[in-house]
Structure 1
Amino acid sequence: MKREGDFQMASSTLIVDYSWSGTTAQMAVDLQQVTGADKVNLTVAQGTFPPDMFATADVASQQLSSGNLPTLTNGLPDFSHYQTLLVGGPVWSGKVATPVRSFLQQLGAFRGLVAPFYTDAGNPGGYEDDFEQLITQGTFVMGLGMTAGDLPRDQQVLRGWWRNFQN
């Protein structure tokens, strides 16, 4: 079984996720079980975001307005070893969470498939449109959104979504 952060080209797919509350992290773990992909969690400095959801939304809004996105504190693999990136994060005010946005800016010349998976509180807003605009070189593939209430049955849904990449 692959361990998080084990980048030994065991897979042509990489799962990258940021989770504020743990919901997206659970979806990423389940997705790794379905796909067998390598996986890495995106991290930011402790204290970057407050524990309150509404206060976090305010911080993220300020980050977007200023263009001062959070710095990722973990190492990232060489993306050239992968054909597909599955990128997970929470929906923040209908937008891509700022740590995920920071990651997408680091993709550089990655030309493979890039698909979002995301968690929301019931309304993803324009998340996928926002995500697609952040992909500069790769090929955007329609994503999969879920709520915390969907997670108990997500394995079947994740398998169905993953089949789209097998064709």
Structure 2
Amino acid sequence: MSEEYDPARRILLTALAGLTLANVPLVAAASDNANVLSNNRTLVVFFTRSGNTRVIAGVIHRSLKTDLFEIEPAKPYPEDYFQTVAQAKSEHDRGTLPALKNTVPDMAGYQTVYLGFPVWGTSVPPVVQTFLSTHDLAGKLLIPFITHGGYGKGDSEDVLARLAADAKREKPLVIEGSQERRTTETVTSWLETVRS
């Protein structure tokens, strides 16, 4: 997590994300013992802290009319940015993966999974690694979209290759999180190249 914390920016992003995903039903989590909401074979899965990744997930979801699932840790990360940085660094250093609040109930029903996450400490956040370790992506098309605070994707592709070794992977969209004004246009153009 290389991006500096800006409370005003976070409020704006949270508002934008709320508009982006307002009234969008999420895939019913396995812990709810409910069924997936549609027969769609494409799922957008995302983890976000500041809201950047949620905005992109919303654009993909709306453009492709997919199902949607938000990765959340069973115990939420602290609200304080610096405490979250310290916790994520500790998890990374110890090699521990936090438990998930929910899981996708019928991962087998999806052929394509768009996976979005921010880069934390030059890598995939531990909670996203938990998701990858607990959901079988074998044979699926995995299409990553990665946000970062200016330092690039880090070792994200190596982590994805290791934890989703049996998935087919597209080249990821890698976008700097501070580029909100261009996010929708960039994601829409990228989706056109993936769908062609």
Interval containing the TM-score (normalised by the shorter chain)? 0.7 to 0.9
Q: Are 2:122 and 2:151, in contact at CA under 8 Å, matched by a contact in 1? A: yes
Instruction: Determine the C-alpha separation between the residues in 2 that align with 1:14 and 1:61.
Output: 29
Partner of 1:82: 110
**Is 2:78 the partner of 1:50?**
yes
Q: Give 1:137's aligned amino acid.
A: D
SS at match of 1:96: coil
Runs of 4+ in 1 over 6 A off after TM superposition: none
**Is 2:45 the partner of 1:36?**
no
Higher-helix-fraction structure: 2
C-alpha RMSD over aligned residues:
2.1
Any idea what the Cα deviations from partners look like across 1:88-135, whole Å, max 9, x if unmatched?
111001100111110000122531111211211111223233323221
**Is 2:47 the partner of 1:18?**
yes
Of 178, 181, 184, which aligns to 1:155?
Answer: 184
Instruction: Determine the C-alpha separation between the residues in 1 that align with 2:125 and 2:44.
Output: 16
Partner of 2:93: 65
SS at match of 2:178: helix
Aligned-residue sequence identity (percent) comes to 27
Q: Give 2:44's aligned amino acid.
A: I
Instruction: Determine the C-alpha separation between the residues in 2 that align with 1:83 and 1:90.
Output: 23
SS at match of 1:86: strand
- Greater Rg by CA: 2
Instruction: Determine the C-alpha separation between the residues in 2 that align with 1:106 and 1:164.
Output: 30
- 1:110–1:79 distance in 2 versus 1, CA, 3 Å: farther
Instruction: Determine the C-alpha separation between the residues in 2 that align with 1:123 and 1:76.
Output: 31
Q: Equivalences for 1:99-138 in 2 at 5 Å? A: 99-108=127-136, 110-124=138-152, 125-138=154-167
Scaled by the length of structure 1, what TM-score is found? 0.87
How far does residue 2 in structure 1 lie from its aligned partner after superposition?
Answer: 5.7
Aligned residues: 166
Q: Which structure 2 segments of 5+ residues have no match?
A: 1-22, 29-35
Scaled by the length of structure 2, what TM-score is found? 0.75
Instruction: Determine the C-alpha separation between the residues in 1 that align with 2:40 and 2:118.
Output: 25
Instruction: Determine the C-alpha separation between the residues in 1 that align with 2:165 and 2:158.
Output: 13
